[in-house]
Structure 1
């Protein structure tokens, strides 16, 4: 089988292992400083010495970090077009996999859930040799969110550690961009200490320039923040602003930072093209197979979801992103990477593409591309898919109550021409409850209408429970 599906699964059903927390943890401990760095949309930041009595302990922070990452691991349902088995760290009611199986025409799916309530998936599997044996000896390929040390050292892991770093990715982008018209790389400068970062940030603010501050590693927006000159002034200076961003867990403490040029995309409005992703798969033979280009929804610097499918991204921008993304993939393959990767872009006022980071693993957009492929396969071509990774709920819901809520919305979405697919269903009882969903339709208008319906219904939950008090 040719193409990315053949390179990814060989066209077979696969075992999906939700090891998001494991992937994040490998970046948490920096040997040189022995400080904690947090990676992941659902995680919290690292903290230096001098913890006050009101702050959580290191163990409490790790537990919170793991719990949030385990919620996001619910995306494991979409690693490949048809899972044979799911290995999930959190407990998931089978009604959700049954829902997806009906919509996506899956065969029977083995479910191994709730295996890692208080640790990583690797730690849990180490205590379950029978499950490890099942995964290792079965006929299906085993797919992970990302490569981790427990799967062995080697060039693949070395490539992940190298190019997941935003400064290394920036260097690669800079080397390639000269051969790609329509691509411009934002200027970036390193600051080895907080004092150096504050000094350079102050100078940039004095010149009227906005700055994107980045920690070397980060996922889903953590460790990346846009700072304007007005914000520096309002905080009483760059040093005070940096201290506040650390206290608020927006940035890590103590380590190096990158100061990157803010690429102005012009005024927001209808038709504005801003945040793009190009996804591809590097096969075992090192060949790069394009998957597609999607338009991401980003709130500030935090990824919220993506829309993929025909016509979503204008042909010219899609072609530019693909050409550059394939060139990046060829270099990643030379470095030893195998499997999924993506390149994220923002656009400037001239609609040139500015690459901002590479991810050598699965991501939220990868799930949208996989779902679109499966729907086209079982229902005919032409689907658009939109993922909504963390839609707020107006009230805390158990999985049973959430299933009832979404079950009532399912036919309403269908009437609008949209198929509702539940993805992240374990975060409904968090202090800030949320649910991760996908919508599939054959027009952007149907997606927009269904998303508006869902948002209003989620918000109305709060009013409903207030009326019961």
Structure 2
């Protein structure tokens, strides 16, 4: 099989490991306290529900949190999967690697399945070496920026934001105050971050209202934005102009075992502040010109990653400026939410014919805290209403419905963008109505 699907799994079914927490733990700042670590672990375990769709067809699925079989059966019906072995709830309060170390029979089952084994991202559990070294290097926003700066002169339509590495929080605070005095908005970044964590946009008004850069940094650090401990980077804020213009893009690709880079596609991300919320991929989502610029630059990045040992999935994220130039902001050497959308699109195009648009919505708020069973029934009632709009509903993150701020992660698939918008509005209204329903029972 040619292309990225061949490079990813060779067209075979695969073993999917939901090791999101394991990957993230590699990059926690030294000052992360036990409560913060526990909170990040729980959030990562919820997001690990995405593991169901790492590849077009899983054969064996290992999840840290308890996921009811009904969710996997739902996906299997819509995506025409064969039987899936499900092992869930094995690591509710620790990493997946720690849990597998205590379950030798399951570890042996994975090792002897004779199938590609796909983790969220590479960790020491998959062995040290050049691949892990590349991940550890270029997940750094500082190292990624150096690479972007080296490559950009050869790429028309790319502009790299200026970045400062002050080397200490005190110098960072002084530079932040100085920039605010010049009327400049600044993007504060921890060297490592996932899903927007460790990144915050700071306006001059924010700095002055807090009483200066030092006070603001102290307050933001308490809220884990940026992450406590370690260095902080200061980056130029790229103003995109009108809010209705194309703003946040991602280019995804796969580096095959032979080191060749295979493009997957370009998608439009939904980002609120600095927090990733979801993505839309498919025909016509990103204008051809912008997509071509993102792909050319993203492939150049991939060739450098491959030369340094990276194998597997990666993406490059961009924001656009007022002149529609693309500014690269980070590299992710792992699976991401957009990767799941591209995989779903490939599967749907295979089993239902080409032309699908896929939108992932990672954390749609629920109006009430509800069990997985009640959440399944709620979405099952919305499913036929979405189907009448021409939209397929695919549940991805089903375990966060009983959190303090309950949410559910979904993918929506259709052939028309208007249908996706209508279905998203319908589901959003239905989720909000859950709160009113429970109020009526009081």
Calculate the TM-score normalised by the size of structure 2: 0.99
Counterpart Cα distance in 2 of 1:141 and 1:287: 18
The answer as to 2:366 corresponding to 1:393 is yes
How far does the alpha carbon of each residue in 1:75-115 deviate from its partner, in whole angstroms, 9 at most, with x for none? 00110000001000001110000000000000000001111
Counterpart Cα distance in 1 of 2:145 and 2:377: 46
Task: After TM superposition, list the pairs within 5 Å mapping 1:44-443 onto structure 2.
Answer: 46-47=32-33, 58=34, 60-269=35-244, 272-443=245-416
SS at match of 1:412: helix
Larger mean Cα displacement after TM superposition, 2-11 or 135-144: 135-144
Question: Mind listing any 5+ residue stretches in structure 2 that lack a counterpart?
Answer: none
Larger mean Cα displacement after TM superposition, 78-87 or 235-244: 235-244
Counterpart Cα distance in 2 of 1:153 and 1:141: 19
How far does the alpha carbon of each residue in 1:43-83 deviate from its partner, in whole angstroms, 9 at most, with x for none? xxx35xxxxxxxxxx2x433322111100000001100000
Counterpart Cα distance in 1 of 2:428 and 2:228: 36
How far does the alpha carbon of each residue in 1:395-416 deviate from its partner, in whole angstroms, 9 at most, with x for none? 0010000000000000010111
The answer as to 2:425 corresponding to 1:462 is no
Q: CA deviation at 1:191?
A: 1.6
Counterpart Cα distance in 2 of 1:61 and 1:319: 40
Please report the RMSD computed on the Cα atoms of aligned residues, expressed in angstroms.
0.8
Contact 2:358–2:411 under 8 Å retained in 1: yes
Q: CA deviation at 1:371?
A: 0.1
Contact 2:18–2:49 under 8 Å retained in 1: yes
Q: CA deviation at 1:253?
A: 2.6
How far does the alpha carbon of each residue in 1:313-334 deviate from its partner, in whole angstroms, 9 at most, with x for none? 0000000000000000000000
Counterpart Cα distance in 2 of 1:245 and 1:61: 14
Contact 1:389–1:424 under 8 Å retained in 2: yes
Counterpart Cα distance in 2 of 1:288 and 1:152: 22
Q: CA deviation at 1:287?
A: 0.1
How far does the alpha carbon of each residue in 1:363-422 deviate from its partner, in whole angstroms, 9 at most, with x for none? 000000000000000000000000000000000010000000000000010111100000
How far does the alpha carbon of each residue in 1:167-218 deviate from its partner, in whole angstroms, 9 at most, with x for none? 0000000100000000000000102111101100011000001000000000
Q: CA deviation at 1:455?
A: 0.6
How far does the alpha carbon of each residue in 1:293-337 deviate from its partner, in whole angstroms, 9 at most, with x for none? 000000000000000000000000000000000000000000100
Counterpart Cα distance in 2 of 1:66 and 1:231: 30
Contact 2:56–2:344 under 8 Å retained in 1: yes
SS at match of 1:178: helix
Counterpart Cα distance in 1 of 2:370 and 2:166: 44
Question: Mind listing any 5+ residue stretches in structure 1 that lack a counterpart?
Answer: 30-34, 37-45, 48-57
Counterpart Cα distance in 1 of 2:439 and 2:57: 41
How far does the alpha carbon of each residue in 1:334-370 deviate from its partner, in whole angstroms, 9 at most, with x for none? 0100000000000000100000000000000000000
